[in-house]
Amino acid sequence: MSKTMRIALIQMDIEVGRVEANFARLASLLREAAAASPKPDVIVAPEMWNTGYALTEIRTLADPDGERTRAEISAFAREHRVNVIAGSIAERRSDRGGDVTNTVYGFDREGREIVEYAKIHLFQLMDEHLHLAAGDKPGRFALEEVPAGVMICYDIRFPELARKLALDGAKVLFVPAEWPHPRLHHWRTLLQARAIENQMYIIACNRSGTSGETRFFGHSMVIDPWGEVIAEAGEEADILYADIDLALADEVRGRIPVFADRRPSVYE
């Protein structure tokens, strides 16, 4: 039986350190996406959209325990009857002594929280490890009874994490990101590899625009379980729409039984 979903990816510019402007911009784009015809089932936002990579100010700018993000996105999801994978935010955690994590929240059509995931792999080339605390739990959840997972940006360089989510049953993997020039080839290749080797959909939402001297190339994309790119944005701010059929993951896994042919005892 098919399980078709329409996805909307919000490829937005992010103003570094300007929290109010970023909240307002995302709110406007969420409303635009929800008003599309046909209406999407799931809306996805990019990485660290509330603050950008304002790492030296991140403790001051971060959302305390994600309270504002959770309240506003939950209310939006409930009002518009749409699932939202709310990208990721800089979140100041009271349960971790005020440390800041790069955290994804997701909400169902009732506004109920369905996933919280803190980025596990911190990107040392951007000094993330000096300003952010790493998560330690994979981001698995159910999206309308469909097993799903979430990873953030640099995480896609670690195939073990995507495979763990696939082994737990995930048929679709969401990837909010701030992936910059000049590594477009890496972005596209890694995402397609994660789709092919795990026989799952990849829903990757990258930011656009510039931050200081860093330019972000967008190219948000939806990749099917064969590794085929079925929708891809350009470099400018945009909302990308795509329809996916989760039954294809089962079909691909049935035709090429990768998981049945694994030999974990040899790898370990």
Three-state DSSP at 78 gives helix
Active site residue 47: yes
Residue 85, both tokens: 């994978």
Distances (CA, A) of 169 to 147, 160, 172: 6, 14, 9
**What's the token pair of residue 79?**
């009002």
Calpha distance 176→120 (Å, rounded): 13
Tokens matching residue 196: 């092919």
Q: Tell how strand 139-143 and strand 146-150 pair up.
A: antiparallel
Active site residue 119: yes
3-state secondary structure of 29: helix
- The bridge status of strand 63-64 relative to strand 83-92 is parallel
Instruction: Point out the catalytic residue in the list 3, 47, 116, 171.
Output: 47
- Choosing from 128, 153, 178, 205, the catalytic residue is 153
**In what order do the strands lie in the sheet containing 139-143?**
139-143, 146-150, 172-177, 201-206, 221-223, 229-232
| Of 131, 260, 158, 248, nearest in space to 199 by CA | 248
Q: Which of 3, 116, 119, 205 is catalytic?
A: 119
The catalytic site residues sit at: 47, 119, 153
